[in-house]
Amino acid sequence: MEKVILDVKNLDKVYVSDGVKNQVIKNMNLEIYDGDFTVIMGPSGSGKSTLLYCLGAMEDVTEGSILFQGEDITKMKENTLSDLRLKEFGFIFQQIHLISNLTLFQNVILPGLALPESTNKDIYERADNLLEKFQVKHVSQRLPSQVSGGEQQRAAIARALINQPKVLFADEPTGALNQNNSEIVMDLFSELNRNGQSILLVTHDRRAALRGNRIIYIIDGAVKSEMKLNSYDSANLKDREHTVNTWLSSLSW
């Protein structure tokens, strides 16, 4: 029996701009499982990013609840929430948000230093290990502007992982990368997931989506369809590609 890590119940999200209501998430019910590599796909504007930000406690919900390990994050006070974001959730975006006047190393350790219970030595060690694993240790004393986009994104992933989050959230993390760098980043995701990291990925990229073991397709703020897959194995890529492509075509993707 799979363990539910995020449990979405009757979720609504309404944006109001200039007095006009736009319901972006519509009475959604969804369970996300611990240890899964869950991919969210769907047309532009269907609410994928909004859903991800609601799940990651970066965005308020309008109605409904989201239980993280059984606790309703929509009812939490702001200081409990910021603690949760810092310790349990890691975020990566398409636009890489590194701090421009800090080195890659300094960027990576920053969220770690905010944790009172970790010693600086632990954080430095973890940062070193992550930067090495992601093959950016040799450029870790440079500023973001002095390294490539792929290297920046790998440092951003290291930063998202420095506090050993329960869930890694990623919104189009390969959107600004070329094919080669995308593959490197997705290989890292696959390896992290093999080692037990729960991942929630929003992507337009079919190749990136193949990495998941579950793909959820959203249309107009509601779950339209989903597909379960075996864990990623580069040896059976052709079959996997065919299965996913056929399914996506049936959804007019």
With CB under 6 A as the contact rule, the residue among 30, 32, 36, 49 that binds ligand ATP is 49
CB of 168 to ligand ATP, least distance (A): 18
- Specify the residue, 24 or 39, whose C-beta has the smaller distance to ligand ATP: 24
With CB under 6 A as the contact rule, the residue among 2, 15, 141, 191 that binds ligand ATP is 15
HEC string of the chain? CCCEEEEEEEEEEEEEECCEEEEEEEEEEEEEECCCEEEEECCCCCCHHHHHHHHCCCCCCCEEEEEECCEEHHHCCHHHHHHHHHHCEEEEECCCCCCCCCCHHHHHHHHHHCCCCCCHHHHHHHHHHHHHHCCCHHHCCCCHHHCCHHHHHHHHHHHHHCCCCCEEEEECCCCCCCHHHHHHHHHHHHHHHHCCCEEEEECCCHHHHCCCCEEEEEECCEEEEEEECCCCCHHHHHHHHHHHHHHHHHCCC
Give the count of residues interacting with Mg ion (CB under 5 A).
1
- Specify the residue, 24 or 130, whose C-beta has the smaller distance to ligand ATP: 24
With CB under 6 A as the contact rule, the residue among 46, 140, 190, 213 that binds ligand ATP is 46
Site for Mg ion, residues 11 to 50, rule: CB under 5 A: 49
CB of 51 to ligand ATP, least distance (A): 7
CB of 95 to ligand ATP, least distance (A): 12
- Specify the residue, 17 or 180, whose C-beta has the smaller distance to ligand ATP: 17
> Does residue number 90 form part of the binding site for ligand ATP (CB under 6 A)?
no
> Does residue number 180 form part of the binding site for ligand ATP (CB under 6 A)?
no
